[in-house]
Amino acid sequence: MSTVNPTDTHHDHHDHHHGPVTLADGVWPWMKRWIGTTNHKDLGTLYLIFSFVMLFIGGLMSLVIRAELFAPGIQFVDPGFYNEMITLHALVMIFGGVMPGFVGLANWMVPMMIGCSDLALPRVNNWGFWILPFAFTMLLGTLFLSGGGPASGWTMYPPLVMQTGNALPLMVFAIHLAGISSITGAINIVVTILNMRAPDMPLLKMPLFVWTWLITAYLLIAVMPVLAGAVTMILTDHFFGTTFFDAAGGGDPVLFQHIFWFFGHPEVYIMILPAFGIVSTIIPAFARKPLFGHDSMVYAVASIAFLSFIVWAHHMFTVGMPVSAELFFMFATMLIAVPTGVKVFNWVATMWRGSMTFETPMLFALGFVVLFTIGGFSGLMLALTPVDFQYHDSYFVVAHFHYVLVPGAIFSIIAAIYYWIPKWTGTMYNEKLGQFHFWWSAIWINVLFFPQHFLGLAGMPRRIPDYATQFTDFNVISSIGALMFFLGQFVFIYNMIMCMRRSGKKATGRVWEGARGLEWTVASPAPYHTFETPPKIDPRELA
């Protein structure tokens, strides 16, 4: 049934000895390997490690925020530093944590899922990764400059952003660099998917993770340059006397919001479409049934991507737009609930009468379906223009987007790592610890974010270090949830490190009984170069 003999792929011209260089071969050769590597698996590992370092740093920042909000009044940090924390927390989590996490998964899995040897442009892949540590060194380094880090919120609205100190040009350049990384990475993934599929894999037979990444990469190529343009205008307004965002010169601060959210809304889907792909891969495996409505899933993702370009101004309902525009953006936004509903329906229908088991990846996928849907519903509430006039800039918005990003995007990354790490390392993770990690995370994430809905509805504004005393109780609960959730993640890190050190049960090639797809037809761990020639695909492995 397996059509590729893993040992066949080893006699390869640029691997002079068996397997890649390890630390045992010396520090310098080892560093050279990781700096110069063109291997998608190496780069996928680097991306994921970088992502988790950034999630850790961003998590520490959120703990500073939650510590400050533990009680009314100013406790630990001055309001300026608080603003730096909320700004960098968002930038680090979005551009350093979630996006590189998904790119890391795409690096590892896309070539293995479509049956090719590597990404189409391996050196560009290396470049795209190595830009990131430098970009974030630049961004986080601003904390040590006079005037501190950027404090305008990650949305960088003028005129507030113009008050940024010496951090401003470095923030702009860091975003340019991260943008280069995203665009090159996205081009690489699109080209790989369109050009490198095994001949037996037509587009509509691709696994959904590959499909969602194809569409995500398209969104990235379309909107990251727009963000680059927006921050460039901030730079020239600040240093070179242009007046894009200054009404005195005929410009308009609202113009920035339009450009920014033209990027920003597709960006939201950039951070969730790959998650849809992951969940659509994991649920069928553990329900032991093919995905219900595979093609409709593809069309739903494509519709969401299209709609994401025409809903941006729902972030700006209170800015003072004509009523006709408010109506258009409200209805267009609510329309997104239709394809999203299709997806949730299909996930549930896949499980219907399935032969289900609940290993850790499945638990995280199910947690995703339930909790992401809560975030989706609060999003639907925010889409209603008149209602949004009350919710805007309140903690309700914070609760909403954290529900879709943490138990949404980040749970899916965690689920994907549990699902595929036996394939990557050849070692099973510790299932008991995994189960504990899920339940711990699922409970505390709700303790952390659910009370924030109430805070927002009661009128607590976001991005303020102090609050009226009646908000104290829910803030205390939320802060406790934050600390406990954070601590629980070390269980995950420990579990994964044990896997990487090959300490645990050996994994089989198939790993999961119900798993389908090309990646499961090769040995675990997958050979360093997997499909150097296109495999012949058993139709049962196709979507």
Shortest spacing between CB 463 and other proteins, in angstroms: 25
Shortest spacing between CB 400 and other proteins, in angstroms: 27
Buried b (16+ CB within 10 A) or exposed e, 110-141: bbbbbbbbbbbbbebbbebbbbbeebbebbbe
The total number of residues shown for the chain amounts to 543
Using the minimum distance from each CB to other proteins, give the nearer residue, 166 or 357: 166
CA–CA separation, 468 and 506 (whole Å): 55
Using the minimum distance from each CB to other proteins, give the nearer residue, 239 or 331: 239
* Contact in structure between 182 and 124 (CB atoms under 8 Å): no
Which amino acid does the sequence have at 525?
Answer: P
* Backbone Cα Rg of the chain: 23
Question: Measuring CA to CA, which residue among 405, 40, 33, 412 is closest to residue 189?
Answer: 40
H helices of 240-252, where?
none
Using the minimum distance from each CB to other proteins, give the nearer residue, 92 or 223: 223
Using the minimum distance from each CB to other proteins, give the nearer residue, 228 or 383: 228
* Contact in structure between 92 and 140 (CB atoms under 8 Å): yes
CA–CA separation, 266 and 306 (whole Å): 9
Shortest spacing between CB 382 and other proteins, in angstroms: 24
Using the minimum distance from each CB to other proteins, give the nearer residue, 8 or 295: 8
Question: Measuring CA to CA, which residue among 398, 383, 396, 399 is closest to residue 456?
Answer: 396
Which amino acid does the sequence have at 64?
Answer: V
CA–CA separation, 317 and 401 (whole Å): 17
Question: Measuring CA to CA, which residue among 422, 380, 420 is closest to residue 400?
Answer: 380
Residue 537 belongs to what H/E stretch? none
CA–CA separation, 329 and 312 (whole Å): 7
Shortest spacing between CB 529 and other proteins, in angstroms: 7
- Two tokens, residue 501: 């050190």
Question: Measuring CA to CA, which residue among 293, 405, 409, 390 is closest to residue 349?
Answer: 293
CA–CA separation, 415 and 513 (whole Å): 17
Shortest spacing between CB 19 and other proteins, in angstroms: 14
* Cβ-based neighbours of 519, under 8 Å, separated by 6 or more: 109, 112, 113, 420, 423, 526
Shortest spacing between CB 12 and other proteins, in angstroms: 9
- Two tokens, residue 385: 């223009």
Which amino acid does the sequence have at 498?
Answer: M
Using the minimum distance from each CB to other proteins, give the nearer residue, 224 or 311: 224
Shortest spacing between CB 35 and other proteins, in angstroms: 5
Using the minimum distance from each CB to other proteins, give the nearer residue, 466 or 538: 538
Q: Which residues are catalytic?
A: 89, 118, 154, 181-182, 265, 267, 269, 280, 314-315, 340, 343, 462
CA–CA separation, 428 and 508 (whole Å): 9
Shortest spacing between CB 51 and other proteins, in angstroms: 18
Which amino acid does the sequence have at 530?
Answer: T
CA–CA separation, 293 and 349 (whole Å): 9
Using the minimum distance from each CB to other proteins, give the nearer residue, 83 or 126: 126
Using the minimum distance from each CB to other proteins, give the nearer residue, 1 or 353: 1
- Two tokens, residue 302: 């494509």
Using the minimum distance from each CB to other proteins, give the nearer residue, 230 or 351: 230
Buried b (16+ CB within 10 A) or exposed e, 271-283: bbbbbbbbbbbbb
Shortest spacing between CB 467 and other proteins, in angstroms: 33
* Cβ-based neighbours of 484, under 8 Å, separated by 6 or more: 440, 444, 447, 448
Q: Fill in the DSSP letter of residue 159.
A: T
Shortest spacing between CB 128 and other proteins, in angstroms: 8
Helix, strand or coil, per DSSP, at residue 518 = helix
